[in-house]
Structures are given as structure tokens and as C-alpha cells.
A = this chain, B = another copy of it.
Amino acid sequence: MSKNLQVLLASRPTGGVTESHFQLVERDIPEPQPGEILVRNHWLSLDPYMRGRMSASKSYAASVEIGDVMVGGTVGEVIESKHVRFKTGDFVAGGLGWQLYALSNGEGLAKVDPNLVPLSTYLGVVGMPGATAWTGLMEICQPQAGDTVVVSAASGAVGGVVGQLAKMQGCRAVGIAGGKAKCEYAVKELGYDACIDYKAGRLYEELKQACPGGIDCYFENVGGPTMDTVFRLLNPFSRVALCGLISDYNLEDPYGVKMIRSILVNRVKMQGFIVNDRMDIYQKAIRKMAGLVSSGQLKYRESVAEGLQNAPTAFIGLLAGRNFGKQLVKLV
């Protein structure tokens, strides 16, 4: 009989993450007890928030303990059920972690339909990243037709959705991404009006040119110097949805943001948010996304690592921006 594979947190990074912070182990496949199900995971999601869980310091949620299985979103198939709500062959999305097999009492698991949209999208555009995009844009930025919406990490799992939703709202969508290929994809595939390659070194000048009416909404995924540059172009009464600060996550000494004055002078509202705080909006957003994906109105792109053993490398790449679209690990 086959075995379970798991990736454990081996040690806590203080700066950059390396493979040595993870440990791949082989375990027996567990047996479900009454009230439990056994799930064979098909896809594992890799997301920037996981970097916070690797640290001991306070973040949204509790840290992963050393020696524990890394946390992570998954979709998989129920292969054995001793639970009234699930039967063998059901597909479930939830957070079963970096492993091939997992037991669950069903808490936090949602049944998903692999015939409605591709199974992997429940971890991306029809999952947490999609709901994150919706919540930050619609609830915090609240863009109106004609507004200019700037999105950092514009081609990523979250940013890619933000840009498309902004266009549906009648806004001008301007992306910021790393590299020419991502920017071309943002404009040609996702429909951004413009996308600036920050690696080309002329972010301020090019952003200013791409936003002739200034910036009304900023959906922030990266922080650091990008944040400072965008802040210089904020309009009075603009909104900043603070979704992520990926450029800081591996830094022991975070970047110091100098343009706080723009928040004051322009009477900006900047708000941090986490999608899980508003499960009512989450559910609504997921339904919308599923409809938009199945009708072909919402595009997405996936970077797929093959096999659990490649998850650490893919995660390290994600923190460095080497992914292109939603980063997934294929487990079957």
C-alpha cells in the first residue's frame, strides 16, 4: 500500500526562506475514526501568507509549530468516509495542509463541484485569492466608474482578479508587475489599460504617465518602495486596500515608508484586511467568481509545481515573484 507524504516546518527562517526550513517525511496513511473522513489531496495552494505562519511572531493566525505539517489550502477527493455529511467520491476544498492524505472531521471543508469549474480554481480565482480580490476592491476601495485603480502584483492570483473586476466596474486599471512577460499578459490577456514593469527602474515616471488623472484606488500586495512610489500619485480621498506586503516578508528590517504625508494631505483611507474576517462576503464573492469563470468572463493563469516534494522550491519562488499567476502544487 502507498504511503502518505508530508512537508513539515523544520525550523523558523529569520530572513529568507530556504529548503532547509522544510522537511519531507513519509508516514502511514491514517485511518478515519467515526465522524471523520480521509481525503486524498489533488492540489495544494501556495500563498504569501504562509511566510507569516513560519515565524513565531504574531500574524493573523497562530504560527505553525516546528515539526508540524505546514498549513495550506487544498482541494481533494474523499476516499473514505465515516461522516454523515460526506461520501466517497465527494470533492472538498479546505485547509488540509502540505500533505497527500489528511483526516478531517469536516470542519472548514466545503464540497465543490469539479464539473462547474476546474478543480484547481477553487484554490485560486474561485477560492481565497478570488474572494480576497473582491473584498479589497469592492469593500475597501469601492471604486466608481471612471476611477483609476492601481494594482501591484498585477498578474498574481489576487491582482489578476482585481484588475479584471476593476475593468468590469468601468475603471481604468493600471498594473504593476515584475518583468515584461507579466506586464504583457496583464494588458493583453487580463485587460489592464497599462502595466508598469517595476524592474525597469522607472516606476514613478511610467506610472505617472499611465495615470494622467492620478490614482483613486490602490490595491496593495507588495509594499516597500512600490508603496512609496504609488503614494506620491494618490488623489484626494483615494483608498488603499492593504492586502499584502510581500516585499517585506523576508526582510528582518522592514522597508521604511516615507510618504505617509500623502495619506494625511490627500485624506486617504488605508485599510488592512484579511478575507477570512468577512465570511459573508467570502461566500458571495466565490459564487460570483464561479459564475464569471464558467462563463469565460474571468481569466486566470496557473503556475504548477509537480509533486509535493517540489512545494518548498515553488514557495521560495513565489516569495521572489518567480511564479506567473496562481502558484499551485499538483499532488496526483
Contacts and interface: CB of A to CB of B under 8 A. Distances in A.
A253 interface: yes
Contacts of A267: 271-274, 277
A269 interface: yes
Contact of A270 (B58, B255, B265, B271): B271
Interface stretch (A185-193, A241-249, A288-296): A241-249
Given A58-B265, A59-B265, A265-B59, A227 B270 contact: no
Interface in A224-262: 227, 242-245, 248, 253-261
A156 B200 CA distance: 46
Chain B CB count within 10 A is highest, among A59, A258, A261, for A261
A8 interface: no
A214 B274 CA distance: 20
A223 interface: yes
Q: Name the prevailing secondary structure of the A interface residues.
A: loop
A305 B264 CA distance: 29
Given A256-B255, A256-B256, A245 B270 contact: no
A268 interface: yes
16 contacts: A227-B260, A245-B260, A245-B261, A248-B261, A254-B258, A254-B259, A254-B260, A257-B258, A263-B271, A266-B272, A267-B271, A267-B272, A269-B270, A269-B271, A269-B272, A270-B271
Given A59-B265, A254-B260, A265-B272, 10 more contacts: A52-B265, A223-B260, A242-B260, A242-B263, A245-B264, A248-B260, A254-B261, A255-B256, A256-B257, A263-B272
Interface of A: 52, 58-60, 223, 227, 242-245, 248, 253-261, 263-274, 277
Q: Would you list the 5 A-B pairs with minimal beta carbon distance, nearest first? A: A256-B256, A264-B272, A263-B272, A254-B258, A269-B271
